[in-house]
A and B are shown apart, each in its own frame.
Chain A
């Protein structure tokens, strides 16, 4: 906030921004307004700037047509519900980040499953191998190679 004002600086402000204090630099506005109100030399300067402001305010401006607004909105790309859901779940996050995390988790899962299958001696269909040929190792299957039927349990 500027706390000192001179007639020269006020003239510069009026020459650049006009007579409307709302258009003046925010940091100098209050000081410049107070100065303009108490210094008699400021009156003529403000009046001169006001005259040009009035003319500028007469320059025409047309409101955009409803058709333009419709055209603008029509050019908005359609977002699929999946993408929309994604953006709701991960606002501002690029797609590749969670996708990379998901891939890493999947690969870890596959790796763990493969390692566990190898340790437990499971064959391709997920059954416990019953012979050393099935496991391809010398380790005996944990169940001892016998199949336990449902009746045995009951």
Chain B
């Protein structure tokens, strides 16, 4: 039996409790929007995905059976699948072939401050194949454990590790020219 901190809220939402629904939105909407934003690289599309995810929550809540999987893991799976659907429609190819966008990371001369570094990192993320980006988003940004992330992506833990390693290696290569920026940002934050 999986211990699920959301079980009570989901059950109450299924009974039509408006207060529980509001709390569920407050707890998960920021994370779902952030996930979709990192997957799609577009804020407006991320908001559409977040709305679709919660529409599914509203229709499923009354039928939710606690114990099988954590609600949050299910929520991540719904969001990732919604993102995959949008990416497929946009590019019309399989997820593994999607080399998302041309590498738009600015060169060192253009990298003037923290803002540009942030944009460069975001752009580099968008150049990763969708599955690698999903793995990094779930583990690094969403803080899911390896087992939760593998379950969300419906792959083995070994396959997840392989996606993560390849993704991080590619990012390291793309962001090599910014390595100093990360260190100086940390020093600034510490000061």
Residues on A facing B (Cβ under 8 Å): 12, 15-18, 22-23, 25-26, 51-56, 58-64, 68-69, 71-73, 75-77, 79, 83-84, 87-88, 91-92
Contact = CB atoms under 8 A, between A and B. Distances in A.
Contact of A59 (B54, B121, B186): B121
27 contacts: A16-B165, A16-B168, A18-B168, A22-B143, A23-B139, A23-B140, A52-B171, A52-B182, A55-B181, A56-B141, A59-B118, A60-B119, A60-B122, A61-B34, A62-B34, A64-B30, A64-B33, A64-B47, A68-B29, A68-B47, A68-B50, A72-B29, A75-B54, A76-B21, A77-B58, A79-B15, A84-B15
Contacts of B16: 79, 83-84, 87
A76 B37 CA distance: 23
B164 to A, nearest CB: 4
Contacts, number: 126
A59 B25 contact: no
B15 A91 contact: yes
Which DSSP category, helix, strand, loop or mixed, fits chain B's interface? helix
Nearest to A75: B55
Contact of A58 (B22, B172, B182): B182
A69 B179 CA distance: 37
A23 B148 CA distance: 12
Interface string B3-14: 000000001001
Given A55-B181, A68-B50, 5 more contacts: A59-B38, A64-B33, A72-B51, A75-B55, A76-B18
B1 to A, nearest CB: 16
Contact of B29 (A64, A77, A84): A64
